[in-house]
Amino acid sequence: MTTPIAPRDKADILAQALPYIRKYHGKTMVIKYGGNAMTEPALQKAFAEDVVLLKLVGINPVVVHGGGPQIEAALGRLGKKGQFIQGMRVTDEETMEVVEWVLAGQVQQDIVGLINQAGGKAVGLTGRDGAMIRAKKLRMADNTDPSVEHDIGQVGDIESIDASVVKSLQDDAFIPVVSPIGFGENNESYNINADVVAGKLAIQLQAEKLLMLSNIPGVLNKAGELLTDLTAADIDGLFADGTLSGGMLPKIAGALDAAKSGVKAVHIIDGRVPHALLLEILSDQAFGTMIRSS
């Protein structure tokens, strides 16, 4: 049972949020939505409420979502097992059809519905809408022998992003929800890492912040301690000494690219914490790792 908050405590919370609301009014925040926050009903509801509240106080949220577990479940129902090479999903033509159906259909519409139910006006987009994300086939070199190249099918590398359709929706008080699917020169579809899409979109929108919800507290050092405040140079050092590896690599690479390309701050936050977005944006307490551009 939730403990009621005393009126004075409520007033203190609102007063603490006011300077941040003033500071970020009219600014764009790109949010990468994934992990437990995307699969647990209570966390889904809290996320949708956070996004709507940000919009209501004059901040412009843009949501980019993943959907790995949902894709895996859909493939399983078809009797098809997902195959991975160096952490990347091999996406043949049949798998790409499932990816599009799950991401642009099931997952995207669930998120749009949750935000609308919470009082917002969300609109779902893929990279095809407004010719937003042009992509090409990702060429992936082997980790141990760079002369060897793995063919992982219709997995895309972003060539360009035209964010004009997102800007138009923002100006009309809508909340864009973007599925990470791009298209190629022959109208073929590409599955693109959602962390990469969020980072590139944040750059194009000149976002104030990029917030990436994760299933970990943030970036940890080798002793397992949370690092709350890092620069882009610090991240380069953590790559070099092997502190960052494995599943964090795409997420951090996207975050680092954004921080080096004009996004003022990137936050990797624990999506398992209810209302993690609001706590990170509208309070002075760190709930994850902030990567500053300088």
HSE on the CB side for 69, CA within 13 Å? 7
At 63, the amino acid letter reads V
Alpha-carbon torsion (56, 62, 67, 68), positive or negative: negative
Is 187 a known ligand-binding residue? Answer: no
Q: Are strands 288-292 and 229-231 parallel, antiparallel or unpaired?
A: parallel
Is 224 a known ligand-binding residue? Answer: no
Is 58 a known ligand-binding residue? Answer: no
Q: Where are the beta strands (DSSP E) in the chain?
A: 28-33, 60-65, 84-85, 88-89, 122-125, 133-137, 140-141, 149-150, 156-161, 175-178, 181-183, 189-191, 209-214, 229-231, 265-270, 288-292
In the β-sheet with 181-183, what is the strand arrangement from edge to edge? 156-161, 133-137, 181-183, 189-191
Is 68 a known ligand-binding residue? Answer: yes
Distance of alpha carbon 177 from alpha carbon 104, whole angstroms = 10
Say if CB 182 and CB 2 are below 8 A apart: no
Say if CB 108 and CB 128 are below 8 A apart: no
Say if CB 166 and CB 125 are below 8 A apart: yes
Of 261, 138, 123, the C-alpha closest to 192 is 138
Query: Which residues does the annotation place in the binding site for substrate?
Result: 67-68, 89, 191
Instruction: List the binding residues.
Output: 67-68, 89, 191
